[in-house]
Structure 1
Amino acid sequence: MKKIFKTLIFLGLVASTTSCKKYLDINTSPNSLTAAAPDLILPQALVATGSLTYSFSHTYGGDLGGYIANSGGVGGYGNFWTFVFNAGDFNGLWTGTFDNLSDYQFVIDNTTPTGDLKYFNAVARVMKSFDFLRLVDAYGDVPYSQALKGAGNLTPVYDKGQDVYKACITELDAAIAVMNSAPTPTTKSIAANSNGPIDLMVYSTNTTNNKLSYNSDALKNGFDMTNWIKFANTIKLRALIRIQKADVATFNSFKASMASLTTANFIAADVMVNPGYLQQSGKQNPFWNGFAYTNAGVANTPSYLATKFVMGFYNGNKLTDDGRGKLIYRAYTYANQLGFQSTNSALLPTTPPASAWYVGVSGGGAPTGTSANGYGVLKGFDQGIPLITAAESYYLQAEAAMIGLITGTPAALFDSGLTASFAYLDKDHTEVVNASAGVPATQVTAYKAANAGITKAYLTNYTLATTDAQRLEAIITQKYIALNMINNDEGWNEYRRTLYPVSIPPSQTAGSADPVFSFAPAPATITTPRSDGLAGRVIYPASETSYNKANVPAVDANTTLIFWDARPKN
């Protein structure tokens, strides 16, 4: 059954990544797919969301968030490096998200919150909110109330970003209410691995009809509602944390609904999408495929460098982080590319025999016919894609507890975030922690000790912070580090919301200095019109101004910021 189910997912994945369907195409209405079944559409939609997560993280968040930079060998992407965007940049984020949303809407339209497939309905509502929130974080105002109607409305109005946030949080609450009615679900075993991931899908053992089994009275071997409720709560928490100062009315209107929640109500493991990635064309993990090897074992060597700014959190310029540094970077200097190594031992050679981004061990160097056994961020072609990590969840909870939104101890949650960050990097492609890497909690203790004498020691030890500003800086700085080459876009979002860590650098010449906690004096060259030298916002795609011009908001790439962005407008 599991093999059959994964095959069905891959059929959907291939279709979603190769059909190039347009969400406003009058000849392609998701509501006209009368032959499709919601229980087949939803799994492939989840896989497509994973692929979108890769795009948001690595082709958008990595560059804008200060994690990676062009090393000089990437051509045709001038706007990416100067942050002067136009309607042709990042179009795939928009079209891909609405394509994905049309699948979730199909499931919603063809199920009910009380029918036999009520849990499909609830899950689709959670993922619809997940997608729309991510879209608002990149674009601001987007079509929502009139969107996803296919040929029924080809020119939907744009809703204000804060209104979409409010609608999504309301939708999450409605989905959670449905999921709370589920009986205790049958959960998928994580074997003996206490750091195992949350698998939001639990595969059916029903061999009679070879499909997931549901009825109106009980959930049988299907979605794990316990984990889905925690996931939905965590996404809701992220949304409320993000708008706490930008939309106080909405924040306050939902604040009471969070008062009874504790850390047990949020995810405590990495939430992964993994349909069973294979070493075949179009079926590898997209991050591995883009940054390590093709399915034929050909090394991919994208011409990116880790930025001088992000390296400062590992090499002692800002913080000393030898443990995670060795697990993330192939060679531990600014001039070398991102990668990972399979142990925490001595650094590997600066000139690897194959991909400059991957130096694990498998199948004679290149991974041909066998899974890789690496650690860090590039683990293997069959590694999962994290929708949200345990580390991010803990840092969200730490901030929420700090401001009194939920019950919890901020310092303990902060330490749990640190431990979860080390644990993620210590795990291999099968989600098993590398025994030779050491115990994550021990690594955290060593990390704190290595930074005990610096001016901002509170960045690694929350208990040393004496003001709320310092506490928030510690939480966001560690979240930024934990998201490095995992969910880069969230690091970018949190910088814009809080202006931490201090500070993401503006565009700069190769020789400009990187002081410990600031970029002063200013770099010699700032290529963007913004005074901070950073990106402003993404521009709506040309397809929107062509087909829905009357409704597209007029925006400026540098001064029209997302509603929760705390930076100066120019």
Structure 2
Amino acid sequence: MFNIKKTTVGALAALLLVATSCKEDYLNINNNPNQATSATPELVLPGALASSASYIQTRFPFLNLWMGYWNWSGNYSIGTSDKNYQFTNAFGAGIWDNGYLILKNYNYIDTQGAALNQPVVQAMAKIMKAFHFQILVDTYGNVPYTEALSGVSTASPKYDDQVAIYEDLFKQIDAALALFDQADKLSEQGGTVLNPGTNDIMFHGDLDEWRRFANTLKLRMLLRQSEKPERQAFIQSQLTVLKASPYGFLEARENAAVNPGYTNSANRQNPFYGNFGSTVTGTPTELNNQYKANKYAIDFYQQTNDPRLGRFYFPVGGTGTNFNATFFGTIAPLVNSQVSAIGPALIAAPDQDAVILSSHEALFLQAEAAQRGWITGNAKTLYQQAITESFLNVGLTAAQAATYYSQAINNVGWDASPNKLQAIITQKWASLNGFSPFEAWSDYRRLGYPNVPISQDPSTTIRQIPIRLLYPQSEYNYNQTNVNAQGTVSQFTTKIFWEK
């Protein structure tokens, strides 16, 4: 379980939000983000943040399959298209639809925050808009951006160039940081500044943590572009801005995670737990029965003497030390009684915090940036700190982490790893199991690490993990002219701009 402080916001009924999971009916107060509402921005904020966490933790289970973390259970008959990457426009449609619905809520907070002269909450919304638009670009490439949140006034929004969107996201984050500075100055001058406080269910009104989160998002976006020579001038210009910031990046024990008051009652559980763990009566959910361990990950943890194995997976039968699994797409998957299940660190409790960006991911980003010479800091130290954070976040100890990374094993021990970048990304992959497969997929598309096996299904004629998703069918139904202008799209050949 991620050991993060928990804050309960009592007024869940006040949240304005489009629910992003069937497990979140208690948040489903306003299903039409285009409809006028009198909710103040600070009351909309906790629902939007909870929605973001649910989106990250529940919309990408297929990436746990692709990235070697999970496999299908032999108790289920799985459609061939789910095993050979030959999906249609219906695949992953909720990523698009719910992504834009969440953005509508943040846009409401942004515009109302400006209208009501609430710079703090407005800045938070701008940062989260950048967070979600990056995910959409990283998934689809060109997407509606400048006209996307105009509501009924622009029913068929144009698609913007993905590079232009990325560059504008840096400007939006800078505008948010300037709003924080404006709020600080106003407060210093004796003015009244509304801080959402406990309604900020991620950082509880700590603006410096928000600043570090914003800088970490910037660093993540810059590293996405690391392999593209034509992007180096932009990267260097943005690094100059980042280096000038006195706030740095998310640090040890600074997980960006939310908890609006999760509890073990109907529709109020942590979204990951409620989807992939147990029902309120303690019965495993259908998805818990459906998704089991992948042999690729189990082999890695076993071969590197990694105690996280028993945190990411349960042993067969729930007790003992026997971990078992098969590879994704196998024609002979194991039934539930013979295969390891999703482990106790991922489904610790129904009231566990929901992670948006973990402290260990933030430190791995910094380790990579330091290894590239982009930022100051010792890459080895940051690498070991990141591994330590991963251990702590799954309920292990710093001493166990030190024993682990002190081994003379390639891609584990720093000195034993000739390719430092590969070691960083491999250990980052090992830490992202379950909660953050999107980031593992993004690193794989960018660098090819680690060498995750292709689906074993015999019908997998294109032996390649997809590099993007297809635009959803809803776009072809309701925004046909603009989506058709993007040309023919393939999940295997139509690259996101930063991919190799």
* TM-score (normalised: structure 2): 0.84
Letter in 1 for 2:472: P
> Within 5 Å, which residues of 2 pair with 1:43-58?
43-57=46-60
> Within 5 Å, which residues of 2 pair with 1:398-547?
398-426=367-395, 437=396, 439-440=397-398, 442-449=399-406, 451-452=407-408, 454=409, 456=410, 459-466=411-418, 470-501=419-450, 503-508=451-456, 525=458, 527-531=459-463, 533-547=464-478
> Within 5 Å, which residues of 2 pair with 1:123-202?
123-183=124-184
Which residue in 1 is equivalent to 2:499?
565
**Which of 191, 216, 227 lines up with 2:209 in the alignment?**
227
Write the distance in 1 (CA, Å) between the matches of 2:153 and 2:361. Answer: 39
Structure 1 position 7 matched with structure 2 position 8: no
Deviation at 1:529, TM superposition (A): 4.2
Which residue in 1 is equivalent to 2:291?
304
Deviation at 1:356, TM superposition (A): 7.2
Letter in 2 for 1:560: T
Q: Is the 1:263–1:397 contact (alpha carbons within 8 Å) kept by the matching residues of 2? A: no
Write the distance in 1 (CA, Å) between the matches of 2:7 and 2:139. Answer: 36
Which residue in 1 is equivalent to 2:3?
none
Deviation at 1:283, TM superposition (A): 1.0
Write the distance in 2 (CA, Å) between the matches of 1:330 and 1:98. Answer: 36
Deviation at 1:19, TM superposition (A): 12
Identity of aligned residues (%): 31
Letter in 1 for 2:289: P
Superposed CA deviations along residues 393-416 of structure 1, whole A, max 9, x for unmatched, are 001001111222221111110010
Superposed CA deviations along residues 255-279 of structure 1, whole A, max 9, x for unmatched, are 2112235784434321111111011
Superposed CA deviations along residues 509-532 of structure 1, whole A, max 9, x for unmatched, are 6xxxxxxxxxxxxxxx4x44434x
Write the distance in 2 (CA, Å) between the matches of 1:377 and 1:409. Answer: 30
Superposed CA deviations along residues 83-134 of structure 1, whole A, max 9, x for unmatched, are 1121110001110100000000111121229x63111110000000000101
Structure 1 position 88 matched with structure 2 position 45: no
Q: Secondary structure at the match of 2:465?
A: coil
Which residue in 1 is equivalent to 2:349?
380
Letter in 2 for 1:68: W
Q: Is the 2:262–2:268 contact (alpha carbons within 8 Å) kept by the matching residues of 1? A: yes
Q: Is the 1:9–1:275 contact (alpha carbons within 8 Å) kept by the matching residues of 2? A: no
Which residue in 2 is equivalent to 1:429?
none
Letter in 2 for 1:471: K
Greater shift, 32-41 or 258-267, is seen at 258-267
Identify which of structures 1 and 2 has the higher relative contact order when contacts are C-alpha pairs closer than 8 Å and 6+ apart. 2
Deviation at 1:135, TM superposition (A): 1.2
Q: Secondary structure at the match of 1:290?
A: helix
**Shift in alpha-carbon separation, 1:542–1:417, aligned structure 2, 3 A:** same
Deviation at 1:165, TM superposition (A): 1.1
Write the distance in 1 (CA, Å) between the matches of 2:436 and 2:119. Answer: 30
Deviation at 1:144, TM superposition (A): 0.5
Q: Is the 2:370–2:377 contact (alpha carbons within 8 Å) kept by the matching residues of 1? A: yes
Letter in 2 for 1:291: F
Deviation at 1:488, TM superposition (A): 1.2
Which residue in 2 is equivalent to 1:36?
39
Deviation at 1:536, TM superposition (A): 3.4
Q: Is the 2:109–2:121 contact (alpha carbons within 8 Å) kept by the matching residues of 1? A: yes
Write the distance in 2 (CA, Å) between the matches of 1:377 and 1:386. Answer: 11
Q: Is the 1:261–1:406 contact (alpha carbons within 8 Å) kept by the matching residues of 2? A: no
**Shift in alpha-carbon separation, 1:82–1:542, aligned structure 2, 3 A:** same
Structure 1 position 291 matched with structure 2 position 273: no
In proportion to residue count, which structure has more helix? 2
Q: Secondary structure at the match of 2:355?
A: strand
Q: Which runs of 5+ in 2 are unaligned?
A: 1-5, 25-29, 199-204, 316-320, 328-335
Which residue in 1 is equivalent to 2:243?
259
Deviation at 1:18, TM superposition (A): 6.5
Deviation at 1:13, TM superposition (A): 5.7
Q: Is the 1:122–1:178 contact (alpha carbons within 8 Å) kept by the matching residues of 2? A: yes
Deviation at 1:77, TM superposition (A): 4.4
Which residue in 2 is equivalent to 1:371?
none
> Within 5 Å, which residues of 2 pair with 1:362-373?
none
Q: Which runs of 5+ in 1 are unaligned?
A: 21-26, 187-213, 339-349, 360-374, 427-436, 510-524
Deviation at 1:167, TM superposition (A): 1.1
Q: Is the 2:20–2:54 contact (alpha carbons within 8 Å) kept by the matching residues of 1? A: no
**Paired positions, count:** 462
Q: Secondary structure at the match of 2:65?
A: helix
Q: Is the 2:364–2:383 contact (alpha carbons within 8 Å) kept by the matching residues of 1? A: yes
Q: Is the 1:185–1:220 contact (alpha carbons within 8 Å) kept by the matching residues of 2? A: no
**Shift in alpha-carbon separation, 1:18–1:215, aligned structure 2, 3 A:** farther
Q: Is the 2:305–2:404 contact (alpha carbons within 8 Å) kept by the matching residues of 1? A: yes
* TM-score (normalised: structure 1): 0.74
Q: Secondary structure at the match of 1:6?
A: coil
Deviation at 1:73, TM superposition (A): 3.2
Write the distance in 2 (CA, Å) between the matches of 1:479 and 1:9. Answer: 38
Q: Secondary structure at the match of 1:111?
A: helix
Q: Is the 2:33–2:101 contact (alpha carbons within 8 Å) kept by the matching residues of 1? A: no
Q: Is the 1:69–1:81 contact (alpha carbons within 8 Å) kept by the matching residues of 2? A: no
Deviation at 1:237, TM superposition (A): 0.7
